[in-house]
Amino acid sequence: MTGKAARNDAPFSHNGLSVAPARHAIDCWSVCMRLLAATLLTAAMAAPSSAQDRAGHQSLPSTRQPQSEADVNAVSPALSGYMSEAIDGDLWQRPQLTPRDRSIVTLAVLIARNQTIDLPLHLRRALDNAVTPREISEIITHLAFYSGLGNANAAVPLAKDAFVERGIGAEQLPPASLQLLPIDEAAEAQRAAIVEKSVGPVSPGLVKFTEDVLFKDLWLRPDLAPRDRSLITVATLIANGQVAQMPFHLNKAMDNGLTLEQAGEVTAHVAFYAGWPNAFSAVPVAAEVLKSRGN
């Protein structure tokens, strides 16, 4: 009830509803109906969600196992065909990126977009393609900053399962604190000056954390090569449609050893896992970067 409370109208609570005792019969009826509605709502929320549940069967868990080819074929034979022929039979066989690079790019896209249903398959595929446990650990850590902490954390239990399955222990993972790679002082000073000028007046805190946490720490961790950090960063930016950040990172990627051919193939690979619109949106930006580098 709203407005000022009358005498003897001290409120009480039932199932989250605040109710004031009424002095008139119609108000009592209103209160009873509200209590009844709250009780029915509570019961409905607690009830089994399907006939199968009501029959006593266990409901589906919140996290499902990856679909098998038979699962996909049962719903979309055409999709199953594209996955088999265009993706596994063609895309993954193209020589412009090694299988290891394709696994790194795929993990980056799946984690960045929180597409966890396919992660178990691709975590194991990555290990088979010579991506080391240390590198997978660093990929997840890196993406906490470039796609969000929640997306990185969502990948943790799935990576843990893959590690346990392969007998991978803590001794095969990079520690929190370690000897960092040497920093390019001139390049960092140039980057810092640009960020201070453009971002500093708006968010000094963002400038601070970008320098201290990202470029003077995260990017210098040695268990993921700078070229591979750039590879997953560029793939993530394309996958999430964040093309405004691409000029800096694509230039950095090429400075770190990513070739023109590989950069183009990353875009083609990401198209399958993040959609054609995101890939095509990245092309004009990439073209400007390549033009500025004389390619």
Do the domain assignments include residue 85? Answer: no
Q: Do both 156 and 212 map to the same domain? A: no
Q: Quick one: pLDDT at residue 65? A: 63
Q: How far is CA 268 from CA 106, 111, 146, in A?
A: 12, 18, 21
Q: What is the pLDDT of residues 193-208, one digit of tens each?
A: 999 999 999 999 999 9
Q: Do both 192 and 152 map to the same domain? A: no
Q: Quick one: pLDDT at residue 224? A: 98
Do the domain assignments include residue 87? Answer: no
pLDDT > 70 in the chain, percent? 78
What mean pLDDT is reported for the chain?
84
Q: What is the pLDDT of residues 47-99, one digit of tens each?
A: 333 333 333 433 333 344 667 888 998 999 999 999 999 999 999 999 999 99
Q: What is the pLDDT of residues 118-156, one digit of tens each?
A: 999 999 999 999 999 999 999 999 999 999 999 999 999
pTM metric for this prediction: 0.78
Q: What is the pLDDT of residues 156-177, one digit of tens each?
A: 999 999 999 999 999 999 999 9
Integer Cα distance of 132 and 159 in angstroms: 12
The C-alpha torsion from 198 through 203 and 204 to 208, rounded to 10°, is: -90
Q: Do both 104 and 163 map to the same domain? A: yes
DSSP assignment letter at 74: H
Enclosing domain of residue 220: 184-224
Structural domain count of the chain: 2
For 86, residues 6+ apart whose C-beta sits below 8 A from its C-beta are: 272
Do the domain assignments include residue 108? Answer: yes
43's tokens:
């019961």
Do the domain assignments include residue 37? Answer: no
Do the domain assignments include residue 75? Answer: no
